[in-house]
């Protein structure tokens, strides 16, 4: 018997599924990659390392560094900002 569980809302991130997948692939090693990200999640909810380390990796892929406030924004808003400023790829 299979059960389906609802963790939290993720409609906004489902609309950005390809960007989220690319972002997670680039920013997290397999063992650190979050299993689920809700619409309310910020980076501090899914990343436990140092801000500087995350920014180094972000700079490599997206040419941008984040501020402390950015780490507290919902991930879906961060994705919108990154892809609006930097574009895909």
pLDDT tens for 44-74 read 999 999 999 999 999 999 999 999 899 999 9
Within-domain flag for 60: yes
Residue 2 lies in a domain: no
How many independent structural domains does the chain possess?
A: 1
Chain centroid to Cα 80, Å, comes to 11
CA–CA separation, 45 and 37 (whole Å)? 9
Domain membership flag for residue 1: no
Q: How confident is the model at residue 9 (pLDDT cuts 50, 70, 90)?
A: confident
Question: By residue range, what is the domain housing residue 25?
Answer: 11-31+40-86
pTM equals: 0.84
Domain membership flag for residue 71: yes
Residue indicated by tokens 């500087």: 52
Q: Is residue 5 part of a domain?
A: no
pLDDT at 57: 95
Does residue 48 form part of some domain?
yes
Count of alpha carbons within 13 Å of 2, Cβ hemisphere only? 1
Query: What is the pLDDT, as a whole number, of residue 8?
Result: 79
């Amino acid at each position: 018997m299979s059960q389906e569980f609802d963790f939290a809302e993720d409609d906004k991130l489902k609309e950005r599924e390809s960007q989220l997948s690319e972002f997670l692939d680039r920013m997290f090693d397999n063992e650190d990659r979050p299993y689920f990200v809700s619409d309310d999640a910020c980076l501090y909810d899914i990343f436990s390392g140092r801000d500087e380390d995350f920014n180094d990796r972000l700079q490599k892929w997206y040419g941008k560094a984040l501020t402390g406030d950015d780490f507290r924004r919902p991930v879906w808003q961060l994705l919108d900002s990154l892809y609006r400023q930097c574009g895909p790829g």
